[in-house]
Amino acid sequence: MGKDIEIVLSMLESGHSVELPATGYSMFPVFSPGQRFIVRPFSEGEMPVPGDVVVCRAAGTGQMTESCSEEELLVMHRLVEIKRDESGEAIFITRGDSRVMADPPRRRGQMVGIVEGRKSGRGIKKVRRYLPGELRMAYNRLVLRVFWRVKRD
């Protein structure tokens, strides 16, 4: 696990909010790389709800485990569904707003924070809780393809 991730996890575990950048295009155009977000830890006993943007620990292999591997990453995606496994434990399904496929299922212990707001020149703008429908996600993917074509030219 990288030193930066260790620091972020330590801050969240001690009850402090952190500022994290978006680093990829999976949430585009809602989030763009370089934008900065305020992430707060979950309150005691708090469960995220579908539509929240959450930060999760994710092993580089994408396997669902309670403790992640040495290749641990942090992923900032939208919670789209909560299921139950055969023992009744909650399983969380996340997905980037411009992704076709959902992420591998995650357990509650892999979820480390919830995105509160996006920093801008005028302060912090609250990140809205909502579930984009299939049409909206198709639109996001189209915008991303156009963005890459324009950027390439």
Residue 82, pLDDT above cutoff 60: yes
pLDDT number for residue 71: 61
Q: What are phi and psi of 116, to 5 degrees?
A: -90, -45
pLDDT of residue 61: 46
Per-residue pLDDT, averaged over 59-81, amounts to 67
What number is the average pLDDT over the span 6-21? 94
Q: Is the peptide bond before 29 cis (omega within 30 degrees of 0)?
A: yes
Output the six-digit token pair for 1. Answer: 């696990």
Q: Rounded distance, CA 148 to CA 79, Å?
A: 26
Answer for the pair 28, 106: CB distance below 8 angstroms, yes or no: no
At residue 127, what are phi and psi to the nearest 5 degrees? -85, 125
Residue with the bigger pLDDT between 124 and 58: it is 124
Q: Which of 133, 145, 125 is nearest to 97 (CA)?
A: 133
CATH of the domain at 108: 2.10.109.10
Work out the pLDDT band at 152, boundaries 50, 70, 90: confident
Any idea which residue has 């299922």 for tokens? 105
Q: Which letter does DSSP use for residue 101 in this model? A: S
Domain extent for 25: 3-152
Q: Which of 37-46, 66-75, 144-153 has the lowest mean pLDDT?
A: 66-75
Residues 21-56: tens digit of each pLDDT: 999 999 999 899 999 999 999 988 899 999 999 999
Global confidence as pTM: 0.85
Structural domains in the chain (count): 1
Distance CA 94, CA 103 (A): 6
